[in-house]
């Protein structure tokens, strides 16, 4: 029996996404290089323009996933979905623990649930060597207001950086700056969660980009970004221990450094594209491994109960 039309379209889309990774399925017609878009022959195993493999290509998989998850800013969409899913798990855990009812969900979550889901914690990091917490903590939030504000910022500045760097390098910047922020946080003995360390990394990268360019519009953007940073740190000082300024500073510094190092444009040739895809898939692999480790240790005994 034939599949419904909607499912036929989905199956075709999945074939396009994952078929290119192993040579484009069984199509017997010329195809486009997934990296540079050049027309290549039916039996070609490598693009004659940029040298990208058509038999096993991370470029093909990356391009397919980009189209599947929203086209212009696919990584931003994936990060948004991941944060919302983790918030959903946190909320369910908090409700099950009897601490997530009514308006309390606006500003609080069950601490034990957040710990099990991978919040930043100095004891777990230094004593139990759970390094993956500096990554998983970026996808956890302490309430609806917390995730709401952070996701608005992500949707505001994320697509700008993703278009500037390309999706692969953008993901690398996001994951690395989030982890540098939480690494500094645990080093200064803070327990915290939130995407703000990574978001500060994106802001730091944007500030670094503006220092490489001139013009009135660029200067105005840099002034607004610096004012934004000053305001965030001022609020952090005024609210005492409720906001982790050390985590913010670590993300900001990491983003600024990467913004100085990385070329502020998308990859332009085969070598640059290969390097960019390698960075992106490295970041994705580390993030996935971190979540796997988090779920593997989810049922571990809590500190002080062993």
Break the chain down into helix, strand, coil percent, rounded to 5: 65, 5, 30
In the chain, the largest separation of any two C-alpha atoms, in whole Å, equals 65
Give the Cα-Cα-Cα angle 36, 282, 203 (nearest 5 degrees).
85
DSSP string, 78-130: HHHHHHHHHHHHHHHHHHHTT---GGGGGT---HHHHHHTT-B-HHHHHTS--
Active site residues: 196, 248
- Beta-ladder partners of 120: 192
What is residue 46's DSSP assignment?
Answer: B
Question: From CA 282, how far away is CA 176, in angstroms rounded?
Answer: 10
Question: From CA 103, how far away is CA 199, in angstroms rounded?
Answer: 26
Question: From CA 181, how far away is CA 80, in angstroms rounded?
Answer: 19
Q: How far apart are the first and last CA of the chain?
A: 57
């Amino acid at each position: 029996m034939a599949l419904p039309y909607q499912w036929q379209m989905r199956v075709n889309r999945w074939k396009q996404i994952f078929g290119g990774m192993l040579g484009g399925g069984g199509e017997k017609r010329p195809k486009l290089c997934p990296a540079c878009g050049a027309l290549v022959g039916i039996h070609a195993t490598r693009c004659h323009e940029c040298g990208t493999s058509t038999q096993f290509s991370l470029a093909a998989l990356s391009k397919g996933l980009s189209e599947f998850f929203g086209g212009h800013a696919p990584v931003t969409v994936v990060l948004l979905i991941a944060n919302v899913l983790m918030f959903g798990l946190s909320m369910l855990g908090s409700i099950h623990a009897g601490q997530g009812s009514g308006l309390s969900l606006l500003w609080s979550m069950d601490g034990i649930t957040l710990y099990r889901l991978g919040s930043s914690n100095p004891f777990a990091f230094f004593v139990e060597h759970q390094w993956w917490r500096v990554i998983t903590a970026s996808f956890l939030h302490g309430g609806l207001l917390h995730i709401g504000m952070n996701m608005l910022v992500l949707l505001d500045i994320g697509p700008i950086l993703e278009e500037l760097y390309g999706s692969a390098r953008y993901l690398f910047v996001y994951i690395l700056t989030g982890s540098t922020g939480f690494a500094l946080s645990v080093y200064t003995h803070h327990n915290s969660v939130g995407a703000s360390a990574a978001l500060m990394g994106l802001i730091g990268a944007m500030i670094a980009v503006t220092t490489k360019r001139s013009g009135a519009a660029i200067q105005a953007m840099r002034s607004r970004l610096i004012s934004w940073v000053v305001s965030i740190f001022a609020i952090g000082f005024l609210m005492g221990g409720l906001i982790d300024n050390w985590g913010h500073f670590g993300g900001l510094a990491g983003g600024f450094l990467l913004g100085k190092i990385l070329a502020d444009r998308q990859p332009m040739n085969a070598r640059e594209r290969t390097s960019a895809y390698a960075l992106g898939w490295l970041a994705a692999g580390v993030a996935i491994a971190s979540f796997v480790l988090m779920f593997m240790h989810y049922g571990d005994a809590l500190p002080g109960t062993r």
